[in-house]
Chains A and B, each alone.
Chain A
Amino acid sequence: MALLNLHWVRVWVTLCAVAVVTSICSPPRPLFGQAVAIFDVSAPAAEAQDGEDAKRPFRLAAQTTENNEALADFDRHKKRATWERAFKALEKVQGSKPDAMVPRADGFYIPSRSYLRQLLATLPQDGKDAYRLFHDPEAKKLLEQATGKDELARLAKLVNEYFITSVGDVAADRLGDLEFERGDVEQAAERWQSILQYHPESALKRAQLLVKSGVAFARAGRPDEVRRVARELRERHANETVTVGGRKVNAVSQISAMLPAEGATATATSGNKSASAPTEEMRLPASSEPLWQFQILSQANAQALASMGNDWGWGRVPAADAVPPTAVDDERVYVNFLGFLFSLDLKSGKLLWRSAKFHDIVNQLRNNQLLMPEQYGICLVGDRIYTVGREAGKVSDQSAPFVLNCHEKATGKQLWSSQKIASLKPWRMWGAPTASGDRVYITAIKNQQQRDLHLLAISAADGKLLWATQCGTYQVDESQLYNQRSSQPTLAIDGDRLFVDTHVGAVVLIDAKTGATRWGLNYEAEAPNTQYWYNSPRPLLTVGGPLVENDVLYVKGMRSSRLVAVDLAGPTLQFKRPVGGPAMLIGVDKDRLFLGGDEIAAVDLKTQKLLWATKVPIATPWTRAIMTHDRLFQFTPRGIFEIDKASGDVVARHRGGDLDSLGGVLLLSKRTLVTVSNISITAYALHEGATAASSTGAGGAKDTETEKKAAALATPTGATPAGAAGP
């Protein structure tokens, strides 16, 4: 009997083990009633992704579970064609916060309102008919009431809430006209595009809508979109006429006039979109003799800094090989060395001004292992510089927040500081600043909420906070990373579109004017490893991008081994491909994308194939290459390498006068090449005509355009891109 019992116990245990193993090994299945994720806006991926989101190193600001459930209810009722219940479920979502994000099945997170619009626009015809039956009266009433001072608000409400009603297209068209007149050209273009996309049965003339949106895109400085619109007009509406300014004109010829010259396009479009966009042509100087050299750290101090972490068992501390954020214009070099600001004359290297002495900096750093040199930044706009850092006297104070300061470029005089402005005081700056127009944009975290990342828009003139938008939440408190670089978010501006790459698995598009989130996307990335052991090796983490070219966004996060390309017209994922973990974005041209890091590489944009890869010596992750029309340049510990973009061959090496350093960043200004390393700043005279396009002929106009736009860019170290730091 006992043996029999033992037998059954064995069988039972075996069955349990098999069940456990099966449950572990089999792929997770959706629970009963849960939405199944397919590429269809009508199937919200919210619940299916909840589990995955919890594991992500960065979670986007998604909407509540309650809303996700409501969307799942909608989906269920839609399948049964019980429309009244389906639309009732949507009302919950319509009433939620407008910036709450909904995950689409393809991985994109979009604002709930956009999501709803797409959701309704893709309903089957009987669903649309039912929706119009329920909501047409209210929508028509709103349209009638949309006059006078309430016109804009009522039209916006109609478009946001009842877009697919029979009058939604008319309302969107009128709203677009109003927004265009107000100068909100991006928004206007989007209204007209949404009619084309989501109101295919609209009675409005398609060619007219295309021309309107094309003009708006041209005004918004988005030539790639203008080109796309022109292409569509040529292919589908070649002989149609539209009414512009009361007169009838050919649609194609009208939009063709808006197209930028082909030659000028490359410079103009990439100038403001790629952090390291093609600059003027450049050849390395023939002589290694520098014009001048400014030693930031003596060799002894550099060595002391390098060995400092050994006393604590950390190994080499990140500050030891950090390259200070630097910017150049036509007259000066500006450096933010761990919060100590100084300016050098570009011609002579003479020190023009400094915020404080830093001769004893190494002693000050001895007690601070949470130095975070990656969180220092600088950018130039007009006659001002904007810097991020701890205050000079508090460099060794771990609790001191990173603040944003505005200085006069010529004198270094501080004009304002975020610490002294009430609306900015609660914020700890977390990333390099970037400026556009009259605004400075910067990512930040709040005191006591150090995992929530926000994007701030600040008035450049007086430091007033204009808006703050939450991007999402870090899984790990990055302000507590001792042994490795924390994730420094980087920004790129393209017209009114502001892209934030968190570098830890998420990229977000935010409207630069209003702060509204347009979409977000998670990409594969590793959370920083907080399990530290003494003298553990540090991973090579490089920071570059994001880049925008031909209306495609390219992202390669510092903690990711994936290159992600997003077609911004959708947004849709254009491609995703593995690249080396230490790879970083350098730039993109018409056909190829260039990666830097320990290998310089070119990827074909059509086939996504690796064209070539060239190994270069690397000793600091702060290195950043620059790209010209036919060359790539990287400052290495063995000098500056000049690489042919077509073949990847090293065509020249310039040993230069900073061979004791670890290499670093290259900056270009008016026939002067500036190298910034961990220990010094060195200037070299370029050949006469080396920066040929910089001041003469037709190139002059292009450069002005480039400079204007490039000044609005953020770069990984906070430095402005080569040759683009002018006022």
Chain B
Amino acid sequence: MSTNRAFSTTCTIAWASRVAICTVALCTAASVVALTLPCAVCAEERAVTVSATGEVKTRPTTVEISLLATGSAELSSDALVKYRTSVRRTLDAFSKLKIENLKIDQEDLTVGGQGRHNDGADYVVVAPPGAEATAHAPVSISRALRLRLSGVQDLKEDQLIDTIVRLVDVAKDSGNTIVGDGSQAMVSFSVDKADALRDKASQAAFVQARERAAKYAALAGARLGDVLSVEEVASDASDVSMMWENPYGGQSPAYFSSADSRKIISQSLGEIPVRVTLRVRFAMLPAQADEKK
């Protein structure tokens, strides 16, 4: 009984090992085929890849200032009174300026605890030690108010500066925190509806890429064929002194795929470059003489 059982086990192992060996061999063969086949195709394809940047300069269309209207107090009702009066007065103050094309967007409301609050001076309002964990913890209600003055491309520079100064004065007098106050710029300049400009820059980049690729093809004794691929390359924000707005608040040199949310922002007043870099791959065809042969 035991001999039969041992024999049966031995046969099973031998059969399994054969199956395993066959499987490994098949997989290896498939991999080799898969890896070598494209190479073979590549080896047969003649192509040239070039990168080119197209640039279109434009004047900013919008001036933006971001304020943080906050009401903060130990009693939530006090925080609400402070917040409401702060927003109302800020809106009133700007509306009294009677500036055309000035729009104030009220962004998302935030309710939270307050650790410390910078008052724009050397001082901070520090919650008492342990306050965060007690009923004394202050409640802070805040909302970002974004001032957008549009159509500024049509204003003369002096006129624009005067308007900006008036806006900054009111913003500072309101006692609210100007977002970005700590950095060099408290005002930003942006280009709205940049898609058309990007299209222009893309066209310029493509033309430039084609010209450059044609030159390389000629050097290689070939002529340019069809476009095999086009890839838009992310530009380095620092290179072009611009950044994409983060739609989730704040500003960062991040890029977002959604074309609708894109907007070009500069911290300085001047012509803003809109740049698009493309990496284009062209097929290379034999030169005319080779074809005749």
Spell out A's residues near B (CB within 8 Å). 315-316, 321, 526, 529, 537-540, 561, 577-582, 598-599, 601, 609-621, 638, 641, 648-650, 653, 662
* Contact bitstring B270-287, A, C-beta under 8 A = 1, else 0: 000000000000000000
* Nearest 8 A/B pairs, CB to CB: A615-B175, A578-B74, A540-B123, A537-B124, A613-B82, A619-B121, A610-B78, A610-B81
- Of the candidates A540, A611, A617, the one whose C-beta lies within 8 Å of that of B173 is A617
- Of the candidates B75, B122, B136, B174, the one whose C-beta lies within 8 Å of that of A615 is B174
**In contact, A538 and B122 (Cβ under 8 angstroms):** yes
Q: Which residues of A contact B126 (CB under 8 A)?
A: 537, 539, 581
- Listed by A's residue number, 11 A-B pairs whose Cβ atoms lie within 8 Å are A526-B129, A537-B122, A561-B128, A581-B125, A609-B77, A615-B176, A617-B175, A638-B173, A641-B173, A650-B93, A662-B121
**In contact, B82 and A599 (Cβ under 8 angstroms):** yes
Complex Cα–Cα for A526 and B136 (A): 13
Interface size class of B (residues with CB under 8 A): 20 to 34
Chain B residue with minimal CB distance to A537? B124
B 75-109 contacts with A by CB, 8 A: 75, 77-78, 81-82, 85-86, 89, 92-93
Chain A residue with minimal CB distance to B124? A537
**In contact, A539 and B85 (Cβ under 8 angstroms):** no
* Contact bitstring B8-21, A, C-beta under 8 A = 1, else 0: 00000000000000
Q: Which residues of A contact B89 (CB under 8 A)?
A: 614, 648-650
- A-B contacts counted at CB < 8 A amount to 100
Q: Which residues of B contact A598 (CB under 8 A)?
A: 119, 125, 175
In angstroms, how far is the closest chain A Cβ from the Cβ of B97? 14
Q: Which residues of B contact A561 (CB under 8 A)?
A: 74, 128, 136
- Of the candidates B71, B74, B128, the one whose C-beta lies within 8 Å of that of A526 is B128
In angstroms, how far is the closest chain A Cβ from the Cβ of B245? 27
**In contact, A537 and B71 (Cβ under 8 angstroms):** no
Question: Which secondary structure characterizes the binding site on chain B?
Answer: mixed
Q: A615-B174, A615-B176, A650-B173 are in contact. Are A539 and B124 (CB under 8 A)?
A: yes
Q: A610-B77, A610-B78, A614-B85 are in contact. Are A537 and B173 (CB under 8 A)?
A: no
Q: A537-B123, A578-B136, A638-B173 are in contact. Are A613 and B128 (CB under 8 A)?
A: no
B193 at the interface (CB under 8 A from A): no
**In contact, A538 and B123 (Cβ under 8 angstroms):** yes
**In contact, A615 and B125 (Cβ under 8 angstroms):** no
Since A538-B122, A561-B74, A653-B173 are in contact, a sample of 20 more A-B pairs with Cβ atoms closer than 8 Å, ordered by chain A residue number, is A537-B122, A539-B123, A540-B125, A561-B128, A577-B75, A580-B72, A581-B126, A598-B119, A599-B82, A599-B175, A613-B71, A614-B89, A615-B175, A618-B119, A618-B120, A621-B123, A638-B173, A641-B173, A648-B85, A649-B92
**In contact, B172 and A617 (Cβ under 8 angstroms):** yes
Complex Cα–Cα for A452 and B93 (A): 50
Q: Which residues of A contact B123 (CB under 8 A)?
A: 537-540, 582, 618, 621
In angstroms, how far is the closest chain B Cβ from the Cβ of A665? 17
Q: Which residues of B contact A580 (CB under 8 A)?
A: 72-74, 125
Q: Which residues of A contact B124 (CB under 8 A)?
A: 537-540
Chain B residue with minimal CB distance to A320? B122
Q: Which residues of B contact A537 (CB under 8 A)?
A: 116, 122-124, 126
Complex Cα–Cα for A599 and B121 (A): 14
Q: Which residues of B contact A612 (CB under 8 A)?
A: 81, 85
Q: Which residues of A contact B81 (CB under 8 A)?
A: 609-613
**In contact, A581 and B128 (Cβ under 8 angstroms):** yes
